[in-house]
Amino acid sequence: MEELARFDTHLMDNPDISGVEYQQGTLAGYETREYLLQKFGHLCAYCHGASGDLVLNVEHVVPKNPSQGPKGTDRVSNLVIACKTCNEAKGNLQPEEWLEKLRTSKKKLDQIRVTNLPKALAQLKEPLKDAAMMNATRWALHRRLKALGLPLETGSGGLTKYNHTQVMKLPKTHYYDAVCVGKSLPETVAVSFIEVYTATGRGNRQMAGVGKYGFPIRHRERKKVHHGFQTGDLVAADIPKGKYKGRWQGTVAVRATGYFDLKNGAGKRICQGIAARFCRLLQRANGWQYEKREVCRAFLHG
C-alpha cells in the first residue's frame, strides 16, 4: 500500500471535478483542508493564533453569501485557514471592507489582523507548485515500486485521513496511518506492541547557555564522556538504597561530578543524582532513541 500523493491538486482547484468516485462529497473537503492547514502552518491566517482560539475552520476570503459585492467560490484560491473567532468577526464582509473596519479599531487583536490580512490575500495567489512537486516525486517512487511486480494500491493524504478518522476510527499514530492508506481497508487491526525509533540527534553545538537577555550564564565543557558515559547513552541503574532504590532504565544525562540523571522515553527526568558506579551501559548514544510500546490489543472495523 502506498500513499502516492499528499494532495489532489485537481480536486483542490476544482471541487466539482467528476469521474472518480473518491473525489466526491466529504473526501473533497479533507483534501482541501489538509492542504490549507499545511499552507498556513496550522495557524489562523488572520491572527496567527493571537485570539487563542484553537478551533480552525476553512474560511472563504471572498464570502459565498456577501452582504454586497461579488460572490466567492469554493476554489482553493479563495480559501484560507481561520480560527472561529476571526471567522465570525469577518462574517460576510468582503476582505477590503473588513480591512477598512479593522483599521479604525484600536484593539490589539484587530491591529494584528490588519498586518496579516494583506499577507493572507497575497498568499492566495501563490500557485500549487509545492503540492505539484511532491506529486511528481511520489509518481517517480510509484513507478519504481510498480516495477518490482508487487501488488500496489495508492491513495492520497486526504483519503488516508478520512479513513483514519471517519471509517476506521483509530488513534492518531503513524503505524495506524499505514493501515488506512487506499481503499482496501482491513476488517481487523491487531497490534500488541511496536518498536519505536525516534531521531534525537547527537546533541548541539551551543557552548554557552544564555539568560533571558541573551548573555552567557554558563559554559559547556568540550569533554563529552564522563566516567565512561556520554549524555544520551541508554543505561540500566541498580540502586541499592535511598529514594531511588531499585532498578531503573533510561537515557543518561552525565555530569563531571559522576552523579547523573536518568530520563524516560518522553524526556522526563525519572532519577536524579545517580552515582556512575550504579550505571550499566545498554546502548551507546547514536542519534536515535529506541522504545518498545504496547499500543493496543485489537481494533475492529465495521
Read off the DSSP letter of residue 71: P
Q: Could you say which of 106, 124, 142 is where a domain stops?
A: 124
Read off the DSSP letter of residue 277: G
How remote is the C-alpha of 296 from its chain's centroid?
22
Q: Are residues 9 and 119 in the same domain?
A: yes
Q: Which residue range is the domain that position 49 belongs to? A: 2-124
Q: Are residues 115 and 228 in the same domain?
A: no
Report yes or no on 92 lying in a domain: yes
Report yes or no on 196 lying in a domain: no
Q: Are residues 12 and 117 in the same domain?
A: yes
Report yes or no on 132 lying in a domain: no
Q: What pLDDT, on a 0 to 100 scale, did the predictor assign at position 183? A: 80
The answer to whether 124 and 77 have CB atoms below 8 angstroms apart is yes
Q: Are residues 116 and 22 in the same domain?
A: yes
Q: Could you say which of 105, 124, 143 is where a domain stops?
A: 124
Q: What pLDDT, on a 0 to 100 scale, did the predictor assign at position 90? A: 93
d(CA 109, CA 103): 11
Q: What pLDDT, on a 0 to 100 scale, did the predictor assign at position 17? A: 44
Domain count, the chain: 2
Report yes or no on 267 lying in a domain: yes
Q: What totals of helices (H) and strands (E) does the chain contain, helices first?
A: 8, 17
Q: Are residues 108 and 213 in the same domain?
A: no
For residue 244, the domain's CATH number is 2.30.30
Report yes or no on 190 lying in a domain: no
Q: Are residues 116 and 214 in the same domain?
A: no
Q: Are residues 120 and 212 in the same domain?
A: no
Report yes or no on 21 lying in a domain: yes
- 245: three-class secondary structure by DSSP: coil
d(CA 20, CA 159): 13
Report yes or no on 134 lying in a domain: no
- 2: three-class secondary structure by DSSP: strand
The tens-digit pLDDT sequence of the chain (302 residues) is 555 545 555 445 554 444 443 344 455 666 778 878 888 889 999 999 999 999 999 999 999 888 888 888 888 888 999 999 999 999 999 999 999 999 999 999 999 999 999 988 887 766 556 666 776 787 788 888 889 988 887 777 777 878 877 787 777 777 777 788 878 887 777 666 666 667 777 767 777 888 888 888 887 777 888 999 998 899 999 999 999 999 999 889 999 999 999 998 777 899 999 999 999 999 888 877 766 665 554 454 44
Q: Are residues 104 and 8 in the same domain?
A: yes
Q: Are residues 113 and 226 in the same domain?
A: no
pTM for the whole structure: 0.45
Report yes or no on 215 lying in a domain: yes
**Residue where the block lists cell 500496489:** 152
